[in-house]
Amino acid sequence: MSDAAVFAATTLTVVLVTAAFGKLRAPDRFRRALGSYEVIPRRVIGLLVLLVPTVELVLAALQWVAPLQPAVGVAMTMMLVMFTSLLVRSLVAGADADCGCFGSAAPERVSWFSVVRNVALVVLAVTGAAGARGASEALVPAALSGVGAGLLFLLMEQGAALFGQARPDRAGG
């Protein structure tokens, strides 16, 4: 893996594992978040509550298996583009949806910040897929940078969630 791919994979591992565990920790909250989008058929929400965090964990792990890296990068990209499309659709429709992105780890309302964050994650997934075959000269620094970037994503996510909860226009009126 190239340094950029190691950075991308490490960042995505931190983000996806945190997102998956947040959803698994509070499946009812994730179920309500999916329902708040008002476009997901009710009959598939139960399946998605189990499937989405499972796929996030599997992709986070499989991106470290060298022969699978390009395919996993494409799968991650497709998954993140699908999630981002759902966020944009919700914003354009004016729905007051719960992002559900990190489950109980960082509850937040859908916002343009969510979209920008997901676009950054798409770029990382594409970077990981494209750089999977390169040689890394600084594996440890790239991995540590990725951990730091993943944690930064999560910190920003938590900050956005807290900020969104404190806004007067969200407090019931």
Give the rounded percent of residues in the chain with a pLDDT score beyond 70.
Answer: 72
173 lies in some domain: no
Residue 147 lies in a domain: yes
* Nearest one of 113, 111, 52, 60 to 82, comparing CA atoms: 52
Domain annotation covers residue 25: yes
Q: What is the distance, to the nearest Å, from the Cα of residue 119 to the centroid of all Cα atoms in its chain? A: 10
- The pTM score is 0.78
Residue 172: helix, strand or coil by DSSP? coil
* Position 172 in a domain: no
Residue 115 lies in a domain: yes
Work out how many domains the chain is built from and give that number.
1
The tokens describing 1, both together, are 């893996």
- The pLDDT of 17-28, averaged and rounded, is 91
Distance CA 162, CA 45 (A): 26
Residue 145 has pLDDT above 60, yes or no: yes
**In this predicted model, which residue has the larger pLDDT, 18 or 161?**
18
Q: Yes or no: say if 12 and 69 are a contact pair by the CB < 8 Å rule.
A: no
Distance, CA of 60 to CA of 124 (rounded, Å): 13
Q: Kindly state whether residue 170 falls inside one of the protein's structural domains.
A: no
* Residue 118, CA distances (Å) to 31, 87, 104 in order: 20, 9, 18
